Chain A
Amino acid sequence: MNFFDLKGLLQPLGAVKQLGKKPHTINYPYETKRTADRYRGLHYNDLEVCIGCGNCSTICQNAAIDMINIDGITAKNGDSGLRPRVDNGRCCWCALCVEVCPTGSLSLTKDYIYVTPDANAFLWTPGVSNPDAKNNISFTSDTNLSLSMYQRVPMRELDGMERVKSFAEVVLGYSEEEARAEAQRCISCGLCSNVCPDHMHIPEYINAIAQGNDNDALKIIYDNNPFPEMCGKVCTRRCEDVCAIQVRGEAVAIRWLKRYATETAPTAQKIKDIVNPIIAEPNGKTVGIIGAGPAGLTAAYYLALRGFDVTIYEAQSYAGGMTMFGIPKYRFPLDSVKKQVEYMESIGVKIKYNTKVGRDISFEEMHTAYDAIFVGIGFQKAWTLGIENEDIPGCIAAVDYLNIINRGDSFDVGKKVAVIGGGNVAIDGARVSARYGAEVTILYRRRISEMPADWEEIEGAEHEGVHIAIQTIPTRIIKGENGKVSGIEYLKAEMIADENGGRPRPVAIEGSETILECDTVIGAIGQEADYSWLPESFKAKIEIKRGMMIVTNEFNQTGDPKVFAGGDAVNKTADAISAIADGYMAVKGISKFLLGN
């Protein structure tokens, strides 16, 4: 090769022509370059939207995110009160925390310069360290992009017109594949457990289902709930209201997953095999329980496991209380409770049927015979409507109505039915009537959004052709020529805002009387407890206020230290899961009271 290759020597000199050109140098820091619209800079957290589920902290592979308490933010239902803090000495700005944030509160901003001589100054609390960064957000994750799974696996149900034809169960349950997929959506934060009255170990059993260990799931469930099948079918599931996924999507179907877990144990024997309970040695203490409802049975079950000698007194000829005949069969089959009771009896719970305290055995007698007493009487008496003609034939309380139907007796509701009330019992009454081919109208004082009933139940009722007349106040029942109900008169109401800040009250509009023709009126405005069995001497000690028994501590102990109480007659929520929780807490209380642990 020629060393004096002229072209090769001169070509590079061509670069000289660049001399006159304007340099493309960014004159930082005197001028700045625009960062990209999705730049991944420092974190920002919308503290109001964040619920402290800690999913960001879990996904962070650098262990950079801590959950800490922040001044001014306290825990409440559906909010752990914790907020993320990023250790910028760990963070790699991969933004996975943003991708998995179920609420979308976490995002990254366009700021990125963080220079300091102090190595300990790199703890960064998004939203507190940069409160003004809201307008500078760049990397976010909307519901389409987020890795949170916002879509619930749909539950297979009978078709609306199909199901009114029979009392067959409406909900068909998850298949194994569906259950695994649904369980995978859970982020295991535990916000749900916190609001569950019974504090069931929800993240754990869902995770067990997700991993395919259904038996473990059932075992975890039985740790503090002996009625999972009932809860899996008819629970009021306040857990789902606070689910972290529910903020931007559909809550994890916690109830249906529990239902799925219980399907692995179709018989009492199977339950015993799977749960394989450890029964403690008898400790010689005796406990008497009044009422074999969910509260009483729960208390009995866990007391028996702890070695107590437990006897339940039940006025009816069956156990289960309101859950036995109070829930329509299309929601909750009858054999479920029977199976549960059979299982409980197999581990040593004794039940005396047709034994009403106060009639067959006196409370004093029990009080002396047992070391402790648990009262789980529930609500048996329906509230009366307090309007004209409510004692005539064709007018019935919903609980009585459901009881009659569930026992298999017949009750002629006629062609048109009016149901008064907005709770689950009212909807049950309506949907049962719809199954008898009646045209059903629900009269409710407030708006649909304020109905205490489950939204799924309301929806289900509407699918089955039930009409809901909102903002209506019944005034009298119209007596027909045959002495039976022929209609009901009501007033329209308007919602007046409460000056004390409470929820709006319905106020009747003068002269808006309307008459609804009907053959049956079903009242479902609530129930109350009956305390006629309780001797006056005890009423001084065991306080009863507005029909509720007053408990003095978290263990449901009453004024009489020997007597514990639970269930509808004690708690304000009056649902099955609260009753179970009461029973469970009373067990802890009784063992503390009697054994000191």
Chain B
Amino acid sequence: MDNLQIENNILETIKTAFKVEGKVVREKRVEITAHKQLISSILLFAKNQHNYIHLNHITCVDWIEDGEFEINYIIWSPTTKNTLIIKTRISRENAQMENIDNIWDQANTYEREMREMYGIEFPGLIGEHEFILEDWDEMPPMRRDFDTLEYATKTFYQRPGREDAKDVREELTKQSGEEIPEFAKKYSREK
């Protein structure tokens, strides 16, 4: 795999420097999984030593089943045109993550958004608490346990006139007298 030489090199460098797991996803994509305490040192190392000077993206994925948030830092190097994805997981309870807006100014925007949308705290983060929402007093909305449909139905006016709608499967079972057992209902058509 000669064409992945740059990718393998950077992966090896970071692996040896920080003892972390990682893989080459495909051409121009290297992925690293690290503990949250290592994140800022890896980012600094990549930025200063390997010219990953462009912060592409910071994203958060809610793995509610595992009780964890996954935070991905995506950085890009203009010299090799390579993208490095650094993944870390933090606990959902009292979620806290290191603030990196001293490394990249624009990280501030991402972190403010994550603070608002997921309730992740970034100690030392400056900027107003309200970024997108206004007077929001429910749980941070991007958390997976926040039910947006339920909230919208409750909060906003539902225009009447559609109450006569019928569910096809229900209507058919009514016609035939079929009784779908409870354990099978999870396989019925999504509504």
Q: Which residues of A are in contact with B by a Cβ distance under 8 Å?
A: 52-54, 57-58, 66-69, 75, 80-82, 85, 87, 89, 119-120, 123, 187-191, 193-194, 199, 201, 203-205, 207-208, 211, 216, 219-220, 223, 554
Do B173 and A190 touch across chains, with their CB atoms under 8 A apart?
Answer: yes
**Once bound together, how far apart are the Cα atoms of A193 and B187, in whole Å?**
14
Do B188 and A204 touch across chains, with their CB atoms under 8 A apart?
Answer: yes
Do A68 and B165 touch across chains, with their CB atoms under 8 A apart?
Answer: yes
Chain A residues contacting B161 (CB-CB under 8 Å) are 120, 123
Do B175 and A194 touch across chains, with their CB atoms under 8 A apart?
Answer: yes
Query: A189 is contacted by which of B164, B165, B169, B191 (Cβ under 8 Å)?
Result: B169
Do A80 and B178 touch across chains, with their CB atoms under 8 A apart?
Answer: no
Do A80 and B172 touch across chains, with their CB atoms under 8 A apart?
Answer: yes
Provided the pairs A69-B164, A201-B181 are in contact, do residues A194 and B190 lie with their beta carbons within 8 angstroms? no
**Cβ of A203 to closest chain B Cβ, rounded Å:** 6
Do B168 and A52 touch across chains, with their CB atoms under 8 A apart?
Answer: yes
Q: Which residues of B are in contact with A by a Cβ distance under 8 Å?
A: 159-162, 164-169, 171-173, 175-178, 180-181, 183-185, 187-191
**Cβ of B135 to closest chain A Cβ, rounded Å:** 27
**Once bound together, how far apart are the Cα atoms of A75 and B170, in whole Å?**
13
Do A199 and B169 touch across chains, with their CB atoms under 8 A apart?
Answer: no
**Once bound together, how far apart are the Cα atoms of A225 and B47, in whole Å?**
65
**Once bound together, how far apart are the Cα atoms of A81 and B166, in whole Å?**
11
Q: List 26 A-B contacts (CB under 8 A).
A: A54-B167, A54-B168, A54-B189, A57-B168, A66-B164, A69-B166, A80-B171, A80-B172, A81-B171, A85-B165, A87-B162, A119-B159, A188-B188, A188-B189, A189-B168, A190-B172, A193-B173, A193-B178, A199-B176, A201-B178, A204-B188, A205-B187, A207-B189, A220-B181, A223-B184, A554-B177
**Cβ of B181 to closest chain A Cβ, rounded Å:** 5
Chain A residues contacting B162 (CB-CB under 8 Å) are 66, 87, 123
**Once bound together, how far apart are the Cα atoms of A121 and B13, in whole Å?**
65
Provided the pairs A120-B161, A123-B161, A204-B180 are in contact, do residues A67 and B187 lie with their beta carbons within 8 angstroms? no
CB-nearest residue of chain B to A244: B168
Do B187 and A207 touch across chains, with their CB atoms under 8 A apart?
Answer: yes
**Cβ of B165 to closest chain A Cβ, rounded Å:** 3
Chain B residues contacting A69 (CB-CB under 8 Å) are 164, 166
**Once bound together, how far apart are the Cα atoms of A327 and B190, in whole Å?**
39
Instruction: Determine which residue in B159, B172, B189 has the highest number of CB atoms from chain A within 10 A of its CB, and name it.
Output: B172
**Once bound together, how far apart are the Cα atoms of A207 and B164, in whole Å?**
27
CB-nearest residue of chain A to B191: A58
Provided the pairs A204-B187, A220-B187 are in contact, do residues A194 and B181 lie with their beta carbons within 8 angstroms? no
**Cβ of A496 to closest chain B Cβ, rounded Å:** 37
Do A194 and B159 touch across chains, with their CB atoms under 8 A apart?
Answer: no
**Once bound together, how far apart are the Cα atoms of A273 and B188, in whole Å?**
24
**Cβ of A352 to closest chain B Cβ, rounded Å:** 32
Chain A residues contacting B177 (CB-CB under 8 Å) are 199, 554
Chain A residues contacting B171 (CB-CB under 8 Å) are 67, 75, 80-82
Chain A residues contacting B191 (CB-CB under 8 Å) are 58
